[in-house]
Amino acid sequence: MSLIQAKDLSLNIHNQKILNNLNFEANTGEILGIIGESGSGKSMTANSIIQLLPHGASLRGEIIFDNKNLLNISEDKMCNIRGKDIGFIFQEPMTALNPLKNIGDQVSEVIKLHSNITLKDSVKMAAKVLQRVGLPQEKFPLTRYPFELSGGQRQRVVIAMAIAIKPKLLIADEPSTALDVTTQAKLIQLLKKLVSEDDLCLIMITHDLAVIAEMADKIIIMKEGEIIESGSINILKKGLKSVYSKTLFAASDYKSKNINKISSDKTLLEVKNVSRDYSDNSISFFKSKKIFKAVNNVSFNINYNENVGLVGESGCGKSTITRAILGLDPISQGKITLEADEIKAENVDNEIRKKIQVVFQDPFGSFNPRHNVFKLVSEPLFLQKEKVKEKEKYELVEGLLLRVGLKASDSKKYIHEFSGGQRQRIAIARSLIVKPKLIILDEAVSALDVSIRAQILDLLVELSENFGLSYLFISHDLSLVQSITTKVLVMKSGEIVEAGETADVFKFPKHEYTKTLLDSSPNLQKALKKL
Amino acid sequence: MFSFKFKNKKKNNLSLSFWVGLLFVFIVFLLALISFIWTPYDVTSLVISERFKGPSFSHVLGTDHFGRDILSMIMVGAQTSIAVALVAVGIGIFFGLPLGMIAAAKRGTFFDDLVMRFNDLIFAFPALIIAILITAILGPGAFNAIIAIGIFNIPVFARVARGAALTQWSKEYILAAKVSGKGTFLISIEHIIPNILNLLIVQATIQFSLGILAEAGLSYVGLGAQPPIPSLGRMLADSQTMISIAPHMAIFPGMVIVITVLGLNLIGDGLRDYFDPKLRGSS
Amino acid sequence: MLQYFVRRIVTLFFTLVIASLVIFVSLEIIPGDPASYMLGINAQEDTLQALRQELGLDKPKLERYLEWVKGMLIGDFGVSYTYRAPVIEMVSDRLWVSLPLAVYALILSTLISLPVGIYAAANRGKISDLSVMGVTQIGIAVPNFWFAMLLVYLFAIILRWFSAGGFSGWEAGLFLGLKSLTLPAISLALPQASILARVMRSSLIDTLNEDFIKTARAKGLTQNQALIKHGIRNALIPVLTIIGLQFSFLMAGAIIIENVFFLPGLGRLIFQSIAQRDIIVVESVIMLLVFSVVIVTFLVDVAYVIVDPRLRSSIL
């Protein structure tokens, strides 16, 4: 008898089909991976198990947990199961904790709630649990508040609450997605350790096939509320059957078409000894000003027709560099030169701006929702000295939309009518309209689902070949950089710790940090070899 | 208990309460407009023999202590209320919006700080106190009531505009506009204002309704429109001592104020929900 | 922490200085000479002159401003032009009506609105929530002085439970004093309570949509437990702001309501003084009101620090 078994599980919300006839099971000591892209219903599956669903939800079928059908259990009894027999870990550690209560209170609350012990004992137990998840008392006293902890540490607190009274089943909904790769690797290790020590059953929900391949025993692939394929983790190695699974697998193991262009030796952009200091802005009578170096003495070149990657975790200073190159923020020291002109934030000539354009990460925030696509894409034409006629503008915009894989008629639509991937195509069209020499891709594919991501990367590769573009490809994800750049820079705490040909850096990383990054980032091939 | 971020694909419609609000406001506006050309009776003619009459066919809402027709007085009084509140909103937007926009564009600078401190200062004076101060200086009258209410609207709009504009300034599309070579002024006009217009419209309806209430309060204490111009607030003041013999004198003008303010608030809430379904159900 | 409060107190001080300047300058430009008001139009020029000298009206403006401020600091608000009595005595008598009235109304408004708001949020979307919201929508639209008149009509004239107006004075006993302030306080509190209930409701609904409430539910807390233990305190932060703002509305609103109930408070005093050009009284009363608003704003800031640990640490 399995610990948990779903039979013909279906979910409707306001008569809209969310889940359709799901069947799966998982046993004690087992890790079940549920994988799917956004809208696949994977999170709703998790929420269905703990019966925390939005208004208007109706569940059909059975969820047999510990020989009880959870669908027939009263809400009161369900409250006794949640937190006690089933622990739950959420995606967003920054918001999953109550900001006004300290971590000791939050962890002991779940212990006190489900066991007949005194408050004092529950606090003692909380301390022990926090120790187990890697937050020892000496460094992280119970009186800490969530805002005093980093994202990874907060996620450990959430895990502590989930495992505080040794549940039978642990559900983790994208527990590491919001975190940096090195933190993510440590959390995955922690989860694996907890599963083996406590003989837990873990249902791990993620969009990242590599993460699943590294830890799961069984796998379910979901799409649009249905299970497309399931089985032992070995099916990844033996070969998947359905078309969708194959696409997903290929996209997760993305290799771009070989970049077929020869970069020139001539320097396009030179970043020389650039530093950027931030001082503590608050006026203070008692303390001297603290100076924080967001970027410290950074130098690199980008040649004509060359794709350069810039990799680093959050807060490493890569956004600061981007903004400096775009002339949006001033630098404290050093010099940034594009062709013959120096870029100074106070006064960037339109002729210089025309040569550098940018594609941002957020497919939602980077467009004015009140302008139509024509207006959005043609906005950079403002940089042209000579006025472009409306008719020519339309021809330009429509031509570019076709070029990036959209329809000419899309120019009359508004941005909310497009999906995330289509929006990034529009952003690319916008960046191309003034025929720039350099495009900065600031995490341009990070927010997209893997299959969409692969398509956009293909498009980028093709465009860079045909238009003779240089890219500065900024990403936290090493594997993405590998596929489309020839040179790579690794950044940490405001400094470039390693630079070189992409292939060399990946094969023979020199710096410790690069090695850690390479080891931590989930890698499908590596994981498959271990199976 | 809690809702998931669940996208409702249904197209967003204006709520029923919005239409009810619009109907209320429409009726009051219509009465006020008609009064420019016609009222059932002349509001300045005193007919003592007809005084304290309850509602009847000849006087639908009765008469007051001078025998004047209450419906006619309400119609003309509504004119004053609406005009005062509307112009006061205009003053608030005219001065407050540019202040807020510039403060947001120059966020963190001395100018921004100055605008915010000026706001705090005005907020430290309760609105009514400002009104009393101004009418004490300039003397009572509808025009001065407009200034008194309008001045208090300035920091309200400045604050709303600044706050909303700051949110927009932090978005990536602003960076895209900067990379397209657009300066602060152009970005403010092309990108910021169209995106904060919703909030400003909602705020304008709220300030409009507050203005109606404030005008009623001011004329109630004798600082608003002066006799012989009828005003809803003074009708209430007049009725106060006679409430035991002629309660209708107090009830009808008050109800007109309530209907107008309620209508405007319903419109404001309806618009807010329409513009931003995320805020649905918020106050 | 100390530094934060020092900074807050410094801003508070500057606000008061600027407010006093604004009040002084604006009242200086009021047309009308207090001396001629007091002596009537037939007064001789030399008697007027003598009176102006006695009142200090002939001194340079800056000197008069500084004397006024200096006086206030030591509790001397000057002498009323009209009544020749120390302003501080006139004001403090009236203050003991207006201030208790505002506080009474604030307490009523808070006590009514918070439970109502919480109840509505907990039942949101249901009939009970919709009817509560409908009532508060009307409550906001009702002018408080009109509501006061209706209360008088119902409770004083028809039911005769309360007197129609006037104030018994605190000498007559706490109960009678409170009783004569009850109808005024209710009429002041109703619109404010409606606003506060709506703010409480929407703030709590926002909080209930936060991830940490879902965490609490996943821990096994029931809906109500999660609401009480994790929802309310987080939802209180915006509510505190509104409570702070409401105090100034209530102080000002009290001025109008005093008219309805013939209460001898600051409102009546200020209107009389304006009519008689008793500028020094007007100045002092307005300054006092501004002072109380500034102090309440300060207290709200202190309350924030108590409620929110993030703020506590950022100002350490």
Residue with tokens 């931003």: B276
Q: Which chains touch C (3 or more CB pairs under 8 A)?
A: A, B
Which chain B positions have a beta carbon within 8 Å of A353's beta carbon? 179-181
- CA-based nearest distance B282→chain C, Å: 4
- Nearest residue of C to residue A144, measured between CA atoms: C309
Angle between helices B232-240 and B70-105 (to 10 degrees): 130
Q: What is the DSSP letter of C235?
A: H
Q: Which residues, other chains included, contact A500 with Cβ-Cβ below 8 Å and sequence gap of 6+?
A: A487, A488
CB contact, 8 Å: B281 with chain C?
Answer: yes
Counting Cβ atoms within 10 Å, is residue A365 exposed (0-12), middle (13-18) or buried (19+)?
Answer: middle
Residue C234 to residue A100, Cβ atoms within 8 A: yes
Could you report the per-residue pLDDT of A47-65, keeping only the tens digit for each?
A: 999 999 888 889 999 999 9
d(CA C257, CA C141): 16
Q: DSSP for chain B? A: ---------SPP---HHHHHHHHHHHHHHHHHHHHHH--SS-TT---GGGTT--S-SSSTT-B-TT--BHHHHHHHHHHHHHHHHHHHHHHHHHHHHHHHHHHHHTTTSHHHHHHHHHHHHHHHS-HHHHHHHHHHHH-SSHHHHHHHHHHHHHHHHHHHHHHHHHHHHTSHHHHHHHHTT--HHHHIIIIIHHHHHHHHHHHHHHHHHHHHHHHHHHHHTT-SSPTTS--HHHHHHHHHTTTTT-THHHHHHHHHHHHHHHHHHHHHHHHHHHH-GGGTT--
Could you report the per-residue pLDDT of B147-162, keeping only the tens digit for each?
A: 888 988 999 999 999 9
Mean pLDDT of A230-255: 85
Residue B257 to residue C143, Cβ atoms within 8 A: yes
d(CA B49, CA C69): 57
Residue C220 to residue A110, Cβ atoms within 8 A: yes
Whether B79 and B32 have beta carbons less than 8 Å apart is answered as yes
CB contact, 8 Å: A99 with chain C?
Answer: yes
- Give the strand pairing for A57-65 and A169-173: unpaired
Run of H or E including A160? helix A151-163
Run of H or E including A10? strand A4-13
d(CA A37, CA A34): 10
Query: Which residues, listed in sequence order, are joined to residue C315 by a DSSP beta bridge?
Result: none
Could you report the per-residue pLDDT of A248-285, keeping only the tens digit for each?
A: 888 887 766 666 677 778 889 999 999 988 765 544 44
User: Given pLDDT bands bounded at 50, 70 and 90, which one contains residue A377?
Assistant: very high
Q: Which of A96, A109, A110 shows the shortest C-beta gap to C211? A: A96
Residue A96 to residue C234, Cβ atoms within 8 A: no
Q: Which of A357, A394, A356 is nearest to A374 (CA)?
A: A394
- Nearest residue of C to residue A108, measured between CA atoms: C219
Q: Which of B211, B236, B212 is nearest to B222 (CA)?
A: B236
Q: Which of C94, C9, C85, C144 is nearest to C280 (CA)?
A: C85
User: In chain B, which residues have pLDDT < 50?
Assistant: 1-11, 278-283
Angle between helices B248-275 and C127-141 (to 10 degrees): 120
d(CA B231, CA A11): 60
CB contact, 8 Å: C224 with chain A?
Answer: no
Domains located in chain C, CATH noted? 2-73 (no CATH), 96-264 (1.10.3720.10)
Q: Which of A55, A101, A113 shows the shortest C-beta gap to C221? A: A113
Q: Which of C199, C205, C256 shows the shortest C-beta gap to B217? A: C256
Could you report the per-residue pLDDT of B114-123, keeping only the tens digit for each?
A: 888 888 777 7
More confident residue, C275 or A34: A34
Mean pLDDT of A66-79: 91
Interface with chain C: mutation pick from B74, B119, B282, B283, highest number of C CBs within 10 Å:
B283
Residues 136-195 of A with CB under 8 A from B: none
CB contact, 8 Å: C316 with chain A?
Answer: no
Which chain B positions have a beta carbon within 8 Å of A14's beta carbon? 8
Which chain B positions have a beta carbon within 8 Å of C289's beta carbon? 125-126, 129
Residue B280 is predicted with a pLDDT of 43
Which chain A positions have a beta carbon within 8 Å of B193's beta carbon? none
CB contact, 8 Å: B200 with chain A?
Answer: no
Could you report the per-residue pLDDT of A454-508, keeping only the tens digit for each?
A: 889 889 988 888 888 999 999 888 878 887 888 999 999 889 999 999 888 988 9
Which chain B positions have a beta carbon within 8 Å of C282's beta carbon? 136
Rounded to 5 degrees, φ, ψ at B13 are: -115, 160
Whether A3 and A169 have beta carbons less than 8 Å apart is answered as yes
Residue A227 is predicted with a pLDDT of 93
d(CA C245, CA B156): 13
Dihedral angle over CA of C19, C20, C26, C28, nearest 10: 180
User: Given pLDDT bands bounded at 50, 70 and 90, which one contains residue A205?
Assistant: very high
Residue B133 to residue C124, Cβ atoms within 8 A: no
Residue A82 to residue C219, Cβ atoms within 8 A: yes
Domain B62-282 homologous superfamily, CATH: MetI-like (1.10.3720.10)
d(CA B249, CA C153): 12
Which chain C positions have a beta carbon within 8 Å of A157's beta carbon? none
The H-assigned helical ranges of A347-477 are 350-353, 373-378, 390-403, 420-432, 450-467
Whether A207 and A452 have beta carbons less than 8 Å apart is answered as no
Which chain B positions have a beta carbon within 8 Å of A54's beta carbon? 2-4, 6
Mean pLDDT of A169-186: 87
Residues 273-292 of A with CB under 8 A from C: 284-286
d(CA A80, CA A39): 30
Residues 276-305 of C with CB under 8 A from B: 282, 286, 289-290, 293-294, 297
Residues 125-184 of B with CB under 8 A from A: 171-173, 175-182
Residue B173 to residue A365, Cβ atoms within 8 A: yes
Residue B173 to residue A368, Cβ atoms within 8 A: yes
Q: Which of A100, A262, A157, A141 is nearest to C308 (CA)?
A: A100
Whether A507 and A196 have beta carbons less than 8 Å apart is answered as no
Counting Cβ atoms within 10 Å, is residue B137 exposed (0-12), middle (13-18) or buried (19+)?
Answer: middle
Q: Which of A13, A353, A362 shows the shortest C-beta gap to B179? A: A353
Whether the per-residue pLDDT at A387 is higher than 60: the answer is yes
Which chain C positions have a beta carbon within 8 Å of A284's beta carbon? 3
CB pairs under 8 A between A and B: 65
3-state secondary structure of A126: helix
Rounded to 5 degrees, φ, ψ at A173 are: -100, 100
**SS3 letters for A391-403?**
HHHHHHHHHHHHH
Q: Which of B173, B180, B190 shows the shortest C-beta gap to A367? A: B173
Could you report the per-residue pLDDT of A114-171, keeping only the tens digit for each?
A: 998 999 999 999 999 999 999 999 889 999 999 888 888 999 999 999 999 899 999 9
Residue C279 is predicted with a pLDDT of 79
Interface confidence (ipTM) of the complex:
0.85
d(CA B269, CA B279): 10
Residue B283 is predicted with a pLDDT of 33
What are C177's two structure tokens? 């004093």
CB pairs under 8 A between B and C: 135
Q: Which chains touch A (3 or more CB pairs under 8 A)?
A: B, C
Could you report the per-residue pLDDT of A145-156, keeping only the tens digit for each?
A: 998 888 889 999
Rounded to 5 degrees, φ, ψ at A22 are: -85, 140
d(CA B64, CA B41): 13
Residue C145 to residue B282, Cβ atoms within 8 A: no
Which chain A positions have a beta carbon within 8 Å of C232's beta carbon? none
Residue B175 to residue A13, Cβ atoms within 8 A: no
Which chain B positions have a beta carbon within 8 Å of C213's beta carbon? 1-2
Whether C97 and C265 have beta carbons less than 8 Å apart is answered as yes
Which chain B positions have a beta carbon within 8 Å of C29's beta carbon? 137
Residue B128 to residue C255, Cβ atoms within 8 A: yes
Q: Which of A90, A91, A86, A44 is nearest to A68 (CA)?
A: A86
3-state secondary structure of A69: strand
pLDDT in tens, chain C (316 residues): 677 778 778 888 888 888 888 888 877 766 666 676 666 667 777 877 877 777 777 777 788 888 888 888 887 877 787 777 888 888 888 888 888 999 999 999 999 999 999 999 999 888 999 999 999 999 999 999 999 999 988 888 888 888 777 777 777 788 888 888 899 999 999 989 999 999 999 999 989 988 999 999 999 999 899 999 999 988 988 888 888 878 878 887 888 888 888 888 888 888 888 777 787 888 888 888 888 888 888 888 888 888 888 777 665 5
Residue B176 to residue A379, Cβ atoms within 8 A: yes
- Give the strand pairing for A470-475 and A438-442: parallel
CB contact, 8 Å: B4 with chain A?
Answer: yes
